[in-house]
Structure 1
Amino acid sequence: MNINDVAKAAGVSRGSVSNYLNNKNVSDQMKSKIETAIKELNYVPNSSARDLRSKESKFVVFIIPTVWSPFFSELTYYIQNELNSFGYKMILCISDSDFDKEKEYIELAESQKAAGIISISYSQMNDFVKPGMPLVSIEKEPTGRFSMVSADNYEGGKLAAQKLIEKGAENLIYIGERVVYSDAMLSRKSGFIDYCSRNHVPYEIVEVASIKDYENVKKDISSFLETNYSRLIEGKIGCFTSTDDYGYLLLQASNLLKISIPENIQIVGFDGGKRTINEKPVISSIRQPVDLMARESVQLLIKLINKEVSEISRIYLPISFYEGETTL
């Protein structure tokens, strides 16, 4: 019998039960539900475990949207390695970009007295983190209350356009999500547009479904290729996709329509994540410095935990171009 059983019986989160057991504020209604569940289950709290948690924690909660992406997988690997070097262990929490899950993981971190949080969230998750909790966000931090580490997404968009032009493309296309919640994605798009505008390069924007809506993304990209087939196989086209995921879908759809990559269309993605240490990805890409992002995030968090810094930081790290098989 543990607090998970109590939480299920009471119909509340695990964090709420932990808050109640640790004499933290919970609503009267929630308190009544928890007390009823404890009585019905004859649950006896483990005071020794609570005493252990009250000591200095060596656990850090890492919240990410998914592991089904080379970038997130690679980042997780480096975050864990870096935490280990400081004597901390990682609790990995996968949110599926679900705001309610993110809030529950925050409750978990706070109730279990985690040393700190590192997160990648494209929601308003940080609004629900208490000011005293050491937290470092990666890519997005809209509240102004916490520190952030990010690749320079704006420069990445500029570099993508520049490389496509250098490799002979005369007309550029940006392919990205129709409804954008990510500051990083907006910065990539803005960098691309600004480079094209300043250098008088013809460009267009193609908006598609969210990558989470996989089948509709495939349909949107295929529809664009079919509608513009003639000019795509005749023109010197360069495509910048907001992520590698969109780049791979564009490559697959082009192959099905016998559009030659990179002879007819050149593709540059964004992320440059690797599934294995020695992998050489097919897509040419703007690579984020994944290992450096992990190192800076962890080292900044450790300083916050140890109260060595108090000011809010904004750290932007340099990107680079990875030459794959989708550019000339």
Structure 2
Amino acid sequence: MHSIKDVANLAGVGVGTVSRVINNIGSVKPVTRNKVIEAIRELNYVPNQVARNFKMQRSYLVSLLLPSIFNQFFSELAYHIEDELDRNGYQLLLCNSGGKPEKELYYLDMLKQNKVAGIIGITYNDIEEYIHTDIPIVSIDRHFSKQITCVTSDNFEGGRIALKELVKAGANNVAFIGGATSINSETRNRKKGFIHEAEAMGIPYVVYEEPDPIADDIAFIKRFLKKYPEVNGVFAITDMLAAKYIEIAKRSGLRVPEDVKVIGYDGIQDHEYFHPVLSTIRQPVEQMARKAVQLLLKKIEGESVEHEDFIIAVEYWQGETT
């Protein structure tokens, strides 16, 4: 592996000049800068980010705290967050918590000790008392204190759209199914929007929930089907729960969409699991990701952020299940 001295020797400059080019500080002549950049490319030199942070007393690492990298919505979000950070000269430190609160607390403590520049966090656990504002933080879908900005999709409007689309497809006895969370999460507004529109339209509806996370999706759906056999329109809180519902409903002899219409929420139906292609409320994943990064970088630079919440519009994607 090549060192910064190797780059300096190849470019015919001092180590200090290479350091100034890498860190984009101080004055370097354009011709000299180009020589250094060419030497870096030729040697495929990768700067030591930890040493760089220590020397500059500034970190260019941003942590992304995710419940699971296996969920396609989270992995798509991570992709766009990393890309936007890279465009702005920052690197991503991915922390995959598996949805475990103790692991999230471990990561938060580790991140504070290593002086990351900031954190973008997605958590559905009750860890609010451990979240502090001494490190710039932007959350996704989760409300903490007013000092922590939240980026989210328009969950309430998504619930309203889902109800209207189910009715438009012919459903007249509808249900919302999902996990009930006690934390202040924007995802709760999916149910609220659904109920609001059902009552406004005079459509019979039921809400079927269990504490989040649902311990056994299959058993949960079987109990729902047994209790509410008359339901012919289902809005699931996530695409994955919608897909699981379709699978179990078919085993029970129901046809989708002939007997029951189904809509999910997220917009990840490109995944091979979704056959038939799911009708869904699509979250603007890329827009949410880039907005979260842009807001975090403002906080890192000490700029004020005008709004506590940034709510981004959703859209309905027609699939084969309505």
Name the residue aligned to 2:36: none
State the partner residue of 1:25: none
Structure 1 counterpart of 2:310, from 310, 315, 318: 315
| Cα distance in 2, alignment partners of residues 78 and 274 from structure 1 | 18
Deviation, 1:219, is: 1.0
Q: Which moved more, 1:216-225 or 1:267-276?
A: 267-276
Does structure 1 residue 284 correspond to structure 2 residue 279? yes
Match of 1:90 in 2: 92
Unpaired segments of 5 or more residues in structure 2? 1-49
Whole-angstrom CA distance in 2 between matches of 1:305 and 1:76: 19
Residue 132 and residue 54 in structure 1: after superposition, are their counterparts in 2 closer, same or farther (change >3 A)? Answer: farther
Q: How does 1:14-25 map to 2 (within 5 A)?
A: none
| Superposition CA RMSD, Å | 2.4
Residue 103 of structure 1: CA displacement? Answer: 1.8
Give the distance between the partners of 2:132 and 2:110, measured in 1 at CA: 13
Matched, 1:304 2:299: yes
Q: Using the TM superposition, give the Cα deviation of residue 300 of structure 1 relative to its aligned residue in structure 2, in angstroms.
A: 0.6
The one-character-per-residue Cα deviations of 1:153-177 (angstroms, maximum 9, x if unpaired) are: 1111111001111111111111111
Q: Which of 128-137 and 82-91 deviates more?
A: 128-137
- CA–CA distance in 1 between the matches of 2:53 and 2:227? 65
What SS does the aligned partner of 2:187 have?
Answer: helix
Cα 1:121–1:170 shift into 2, 3 Å: same
Counterpart contact for 1:53–1:112, Cα < 8 Å? no
Q: Distance in 2 between matches of 1:53 and 1:108?
A: 20
Superposition deviation, residue 101 in structure 1: 1.6
Q: Which residue of 2 aligns with 1:250?
A: 245
Matches of 1:107 and 1:296 in 2, distance apart? 25
Paired residue total: 272
Shift of 1:309: 2.1
Amino acid at match of 1:243: T
Q: Is the 8 A contact 1:74 1:273 kept in 2?
A: no
CA distance in 2, matches of 1:313, 1:167: 37
Residues 153, 184 of structure 1: 8 Å contact kept: yes
Q: How does 1:87-166 map to 2 (within 5 A)?
A: 87-166=89-168
Structure 1 contact 272–281 (Cα < 8 Å) conserved: no
Task: Specify the code of the residue in structure 2 equivalent to 1:189.
Answer: K
- Taking the aligned partners of 1:326 and 1:228, their CA distance within structure 2 comes to 19
Question: Matches of residues 29-48 of structure 1 in structure 2 within 5 Å?
Answer: none
Distance 2:113 2:56 in 1: 10
Alpha-carbon shift at residue 182 of structure 1 (Å): 5.3
More deviation, 57-66/139-148: 139-148
SS at match of 2:288: helix
Q: In 1, are the aligned partners of 2:262 and 2:278 still within 8 Å (CA)?
A: yes
Q: 2:256, 2:321 within 8 Å by CA — same for their partners in 1?
A: yes
Could you give the per-residue CA deviations for residues 184-227 of structure 1, whole angstroms, max 9, x where no partner exists? 232111110011111111111122464552xx220121232245
Distance 1:301 1:199, change over 3 A: same
Contact 1:146 1:312 in 2 (8 A): no
Moved more, 287-296 or 217-226: 217-226
1:222 equivalent in structure 2 = 222
Q: Kindly indicate whether residue 267 of structure 2 is the aligned counterpart of residue 272 of structure 1.
A: yes
Show the 5 A alignment for 1:177-256: 177-181=179-183, 183-208=185-210, 210-211=212-213, 213=215, 216-229=216-229, 231=230, 237-256=232-251
CA–CA separation in structure 2 for the residues paired with 1:53 and 1:153:
44
Q: Distance in 1 between matches of 2:66 and 2:146?
A: 20
Aligned equivalents of 2:137, 2:276: Cα separation in 1: 32
Cα distance in 1 for partners of 2:214, 2:93 equals 24
In the TM superposition, what is the alpha-carbon distance from 1:88 to its structure 2 partner? 0.8
Deviation at 1:307, TM superposition (A): 1.5
- The TM-score with structure 2 as length reference comes to 0.78
- Distance in 1 of aligned mates of 2:174 and 2:129: 38
Task: Tell me the equivalent position of 1:11.
Answer: none
The 2-side partners of 1:280 and 1:265 are apart by 15
Change (3 A) 1:107 1:54: farther
1:72 to 68, 71, 74: 74
Q: Write out the 4+ residue segments of structure 1 that deviate beyond 6 Å after TM superposition.
A: none
CA distance in 2, matches of 1:184, 1:163: 21
Contact 2:239–2:269 (8 Å) recurs in 1 = no
Alignment identity in percent? 33
Distance 1:140 1:301, change over 3 A: same
Alignment CA distance shift 1:302-1:161 (3 Å): same
Letter in 2 for 1:220: F
Aligned AA for 1:56? R
C-alpha distance in 1 between matches for 2:184 and 2:132: 23
SS in 2 for 1:184: coil
| C-alpha distance 88-281 of structure 1, shift in aligned 2 (>3 A) | farther
